């Protein structure tokens, strides 16, 4: 076996990025297996079981023989429920609303990031996609691997982690094909204000060739204001791909149900699904029908619990010397600024700080560089997913405070 030669892999696959949450998770698991006591804030998923009525709907679907392929765009019952929910939550009415025919269901919201890039850009011809930085790492990975040009747009702490519209305008070229928006946002927890959205829409009206990918997977986890979508602003619906799903709202990350909504692109997305997954899990689709149409008290309870934990973690983080944390408007992430804590403890940057927290304080978090290159002038940040118990939050931030105090030089 020693001299065995293997065929080469494509250059394309060596350009594939990853989600570092999974890499850090592997580190955490290895440390835990070696006996370390680690409190983890790495993984972006609700820490609740899927509500029982949704579980029951899946069991019923299995017993009723819902075992086969479905149409690639999803079962009509689910697409109708999604169209109703998308219109309700985003205030879309009359001719500016969506219908079941505009909806395509997939195995999570994630595949639609790739399908949207594949459907709006061509490989290697210089087509550009603008996306938020820091941002969900799959945006950049899929832009690059599909041969488009990544154009990161820096988010600003002073703007509550929105980007500066003037910088968006400056980033647009005749080759710009798509703008990715994500509100509420991973990793900062920030959400775009009505003014931000109005400014973005005004710029987009000047550039009708640009598609908008509205990643709204955290649309139901917004705390201080009502959710607002770019799709609801004048002239925006037709060019906006609304993406959302069941993962975060109903604690269904492993069921793999997400969707994209756009009248023009729905047939193309359907064809991508036929070419890749065939269809989302038939059983999970019936579970998602219950998630959308059934009682919402479990979803409301989970949201209320995230809000309580947000206030807890933000309050605690702001008491740690050298750490300051804005109050995030949505999702379940906190993105504290640790520039001063790094300086005080002699850590060169947030990644060194993160590693020390893991190995010396027993607390696992992600660093800003796991979400894209650091934005000049924005300092150092780390990410907490606060979908963790109140005890874990109290103990975890307590360990960080002790470590910073002990290691201040
Ligand atoms: C911003 C963002 N978009 C999309 C997804 C993918 O969600 P899904 O589980 O529906 O594929 C995630 C999951 O972490 C996310 O944070």
Per-residue pLDDT reduced to its tens digit, 130-185:
999 999 999 999 999 999 999 999 999 999 999 999 999 999 999 999 999 999 99
Together in a domain, 280 and 355 = no
43 lines ligand 1 (CB under 6 A): no
Tokens for 43?
């993984």
Tell me the torsion sign for CA atoms 200, 203, 205, 210: negative
Tokens 């906190």 sit on residue: 334
Query: 275: buried, middle or exposed (CB in 10 Å: 19+, 13-18, 0-12)?
Result: exposed
Tokens for 369?
């560089």
User: Which residues are registered as beta bridge partners of 244?
Assistant: 259
Residue whose CA is at the smallest distance from ligand 1 atom 6: 110
Q: Return the number of other C-beta atoms located less than 10 Å from residue 256's C-beta.
A: 20
Within a domain: 57:
no
Together in a domain, 345 and 250 = no
- Give the pairing type, strands 103-106 and 258-261: antiparallel
Phi, psi of 222 (to 5 degrees): -130, 135
Write the CATH number for 131. Answer: 3.40.640.10
What is the tally of structural domains in the chain?
Answer: 2
Residue whose CA is at the smallest distance from ligand 1 atom 14: 44
Together in a domain, 102 and 173 = yes
- State the pLDDT at residue 1: 58
Last residue of one domain, picked from the residues 244, 273, 293: 293
Ligand 1 atom with the shortest distance to the CA of 246: 10
- Region 203-222: mean pLDDT is 98
Ligand 1 atom with the shortest distance to the CA of 215: 3
Ligand 1 atom with the shortest distance to the CA of 19: 14
Q: Return the number of other C-beta atoms located less than 10 Å from residue 350's C-beta.
A: 25
Tokens 């006591």 sit on residue: 37
Together in a domain, 205 and 93 = yes
Q: How many separate helices (H) and strands (E) can be counted in the chain?
A: 14, 13
- Region 260-271: mean pLDDT is 98
User: Which residues are registered as beta bridge partners of 104?
Assistant: 260
Centre of ligand 1 to C-alpha 18, Å, is 13
- Give the pairing type, strands 240-245 and 258-261: antiparallel
Centre of ligand 1 to C-alpha 361, Å, is 29
Centre of ligand 1 to C-alpha 392, Å, is 24
**Does 3 have pLDDT greater than 80?**
no
Contact 62, 282 (CB under 8 A): no
Within a domain: 84:
yes
Together in a domain, 133 and 41 = no
Within a domain: 34:
yes
Centre of ligand 1 to C-alpha 289, Å, is 19
> What is the DSSP secondary structure assignment for residue 126, as one 8-state letter?
-
258 lines ligand 1 (CB under 6 A): yes
Ligand 1 atom with the shortest distance to the CA of 45: 14
- The model's pTM: 0.96
Within a domain: 3:
no
Together in a domain, 263 and 218 = yes
Together in a domain, 144 and 284 = yes
- Region 251-272: mean pLDDT is 98
313 lines ligand 1 (CB under 6 A): no
Residue 278 pLDDT level (bands cut at 50, 70, 90)? very high
Q: What is the CA radius of gyration of the chain?
A: 22
Residue 224 pLDDT level (bands cut at 50, 70, 90)? confident
3-state secondary structure (DSSP) of residue 66? coil
Centre of ligand 1 to C-alpha 2, Å, is 41
186 lines ligand 1 (CB under 6 A): yes
Centre of ligand 1 to C-alpha 46, Å, is 12
187 lines ligand 1 (CB under 6 A): no
Contact 128, 117 (CB under 8 A): no
Last residue of one domain, picked from the residues 293, 311, 333: 293
> What is the DSSP secondary structure assignment for residue 293, as one 8-state letter?
H
- State the pLDDT at residue 328: 96
Task: Give the distance, in angstroms, between the CA of residue 326 and the centroid of all CA atoms in the same chain.
Answer: 19
- Region 78-97: mean pLDDT is 97
Report how far residue 155's alpha carbon sits from residue 133's, in angstroms, rounded to the nearest whole number: 6
Lowest-pLDDT choice from 27-31, 68-72, 139-143, 233-237 = 27-31
Within a domain: 5:
no
110 lines ligand 1 (CB under 6 A): yes
Report how far residue 296's alpha carbon sits from residue 214's, in angstroms, rounded to the nearest whole number: 24
- Which residues span the domain enclosing 193? 68-293
Together in a domain, 258 and 302 = no
What are the E-state strand segments in 224-277? 240-245, 258-261
Contact 345, 356 (CB under 8 A): yes
Nearest to 247 by CA among 45, 43, 25: 45
- State the pLDDT at residue 19: 82
Report how far residue 180's alpha carbon sits from residue 168's, in angstroms, rounded to the nearest whole number: 11
Phi, psi of 240 (to 5 degrees): -100, 130
Together in a domain, 126 and 31 = no
- State the pLDDT at residue 326: 97
282-305 burial code (b ≥16 CB/10 A, e <16): bbbbbbbbbbbebeeebbeebbeb
Centre of ligand 1 to C-alpha 261, Å, is 16
- State the pLDDT at residue 6: 87
Pocket test for ligand 1, best of 217, 243, 245, 287 (most atoms within 8 A of CB): 217
Centre of ligand 1 to C-alpha 241, Å, is 15
Pocket test for ligand 1, best of 139, 186, 366 (most atoms within 8 A of CB): 186
**Does 61 have pLDDT greater than 90?**
yes
Within a domain: 59:
no
Last residue of one domain, picked from the residues 293, 323, 358: 293
Tell me the torsion sign for CA atoms 326, 331, 333, 337: negative
Write the CATH number for 333. Answer: 3.90.1150.10
Report how far residue 111's alpha carbon sits from residue 213's, in angstroms, rounded to the nearest whole number: 13
109 lines ligand 1 (CB under 6 A): yes
Phi-psi region of 144 (alpha: psi -120 to 50; beta: other; left: phi over 0): alpha
CA atoms lying within 13 Å on the CB side of residue 375? 21
Within a domain: 122:
yes
Centre of ligand 1 to C-alpha 371, Å, is 13
**Does 15 have pLDDT greater than 90?**
no
Within a domain: 324:
yes
Together in a domain, 280 and 306 = no
Together in a domain, 280 and 153 = yes
Centre of ligand 1 to C-alpha 16, Å, is 17
201 lines ligand 1 (CB under 6 A): no
Centre of ligand 1 to C-alpha 4, Å, is 40
Centre of ligand 1 to C-alpha 245, Å, is 8
3-state secondary structure (DSSP) of residue 70? coil
Together in a domain, 267 and 334 = no
CA atoms lying within 13 Å on the CB side of residue 283? 14
83-95 burial code (b ≥16 CB/10 A, e <16): bbbbbebbebeee
């Amino acid at each position: 076996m020693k001299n065995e030669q293997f065929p080469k892999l494509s250059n394309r696959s060596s350009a594939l990025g990853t989600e570092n949450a999974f890499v850090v998770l592997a580190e955490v698991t290895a440390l835990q297996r070696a006996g370390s006591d680690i409190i983890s804030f790495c993984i972006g998923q609700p820490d609740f079981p899927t509500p029982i009525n949704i579980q029951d709907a899946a069991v019923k679907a299995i017993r009723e023989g819902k075992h086969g392929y479905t149409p690639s765009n999803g079962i009509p019952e689910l697409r109708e429920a999604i169209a109703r929910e998308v219109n309700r939550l985003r205030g879309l009415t009359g001719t500016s609303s969506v219908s079941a025919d505009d909806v395509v269901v997939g195995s999570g919201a994630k595949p639609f990031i790739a399908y949207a890039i594949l459907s709006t850009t061509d490989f290697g011809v210089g087509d550009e996609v603008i996306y938020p930085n820091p941002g969900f790492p799959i945006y950049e990975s899929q832009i690059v691997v599909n041969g488009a040009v990544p154009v990161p747009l820096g988010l600003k702490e002073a703007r509550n982690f929105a980007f500066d519209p003037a910088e968006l305008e400056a980033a647009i070229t005749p080759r710009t094909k798509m703008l990715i928006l994500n509100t509420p946002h991973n990793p900062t927890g920030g959400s775009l204000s009505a003014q931000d959205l109005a400014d973005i829409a005004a710029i987009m009206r000047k550039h009708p060739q640009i598609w908008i990918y509205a990643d709204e997977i955290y649309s139901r986890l917004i705390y201080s204001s009502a959710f607002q979508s770019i799709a609801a602003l004048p002239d925006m619906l037709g060019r906006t791909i609304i993406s959302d799903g069941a993962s975060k709202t109903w604690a269904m990350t492993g069921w793999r149900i997400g969707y994209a909504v756009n009248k023009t692109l729905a047939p193309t997305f359907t064809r991508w699904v036929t070419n890749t997954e065939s269809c989302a899990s038939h059983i999970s689709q019936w579970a998602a029908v219950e998630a959308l149409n059934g009682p919402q008290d479990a979803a409301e309870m989970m949201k209320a619990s995230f809000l309580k934990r947000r206030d807890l973690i933000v309050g605690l983080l702001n008491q740690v010397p050298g750490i300051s944390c804005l109050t995030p408007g949505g999702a379940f992430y906190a993105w504290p600024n640790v520039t001063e804590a790094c300086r005080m403890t002699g850590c060169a940057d947030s990644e060194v700080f993160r590693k020390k927290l893991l190995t010396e304080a027993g607390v696992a978090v992600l660093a800003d560089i796991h979400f894209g290159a650091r934005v000049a002038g924005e300092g150092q940040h780390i990410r907490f997913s606060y979908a963790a118990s109140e005890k874990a939050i109290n103990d975890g931030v307590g360990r960080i405070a002790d470590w910073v105090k002990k290691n201040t030089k």
